[in-house]
Amino acid sequence: RGATPGEERRPARSDARRGHRAKMAMACWLAALALNGGQSGPCTSPAQSWLSSVRPSIALSSAEAIELSLLAMQGGDIDGGAALWLRFSAPSFCLAAIEPWGAPALALAVRDSKSQYSLLADSRLAIEFPTEPVERFDSDGIAVSWHEVELELRPGGRFDSEGYTAAKLGWENEWSSKGWCTRHVSWHDFRPAFRPGIGQEEWPRICG
């Protein structure tokens, strides 16, 4: 029998997202190889994470730069992932309630199970971009790209499994000579222990 419209869309979406995650993993691997002087694999020394080799690049799209940051801690290297966040951020950027802003403070927050940012190290994390980005130039002529980002929790982080939206982010990147860098992130959390998120207001219910 012919597939219904819903059946046609879901496999295509799942395949596309799995392919995109594979692409991001390959981007990290290639960056590590290129910037570590052609080593046969990522740096495994406990003193220097291979993530330290990953840098912003003009070859990455705005969405890819976002996904690199959000998935950087999925391998368990929270310190290396936090440092990557800083490299992929504009000088003026900071996450709400992390003071003083910096990689050590971000890593500490991610390790704290009572912090909303611990979600970044959850192995069930899956990333979705449900809408098209909004692109513009600011008053200084800098290119800016705004993305709606859904952080979902799914078994194994797989897009072909059922899950739920843990948080929605409004993520704004700005273009620089080194590529797309994070300018601002608003984090609206739906998990009971963290809602509505630091600095956020509860969203009104439309129905139900």
What would the two tokens of residue 95 be? 């996450």
**Cβ-proximal residues to 42 (8 Å cutoff; 6+ apart), any chain:** 29, 32, 33, 36, 50, 53
Q: pLDDT (tens digit, 9 = 90+) per residue, 40-91?
A: 344 444 434 677 888 999 999 999 999 999 989 988 899 999 999 999 999 9
User: Is the model more confident about 1 or about 18?
Assistant: 18
Separation in Å, CA 56 to CA 43, 48, 51, 61, 168: 18, 18, 12, 10, 24
pLDDT above 90 covers a percentage of the chain that reads 53
Burial 47-72 (b: 16+ CB within 10 A, else e): eebbbbbbebbeebebbbbbbbbbbb
What would the two tokens of residue 41 be? 């694999």
Q: pLDDT (tens digit, 9 = 90+) per residue, 7-45?
A: 322 333 444 454 445 545 545 544 443 444 333 344 444
When pLDDT is cut at 50, 70 and 90, the band that residue 202 belongs to is: low
Q: Is the pTM of this model over 0.85?
A: no
pLDDT above 70 covers a percentage of the chain that reads 66
Q: pLDDT (tens digit, 9 = 90+) per residue, 116-142?
A: 999 999 989 999 999 999 999 999 999
Longest alpha-carbon distance in the chain: 59
Q: pLDDT (tens digit, 9 = 90+) per residue, 90-109?
A: 999 999 888 899 999 999 99
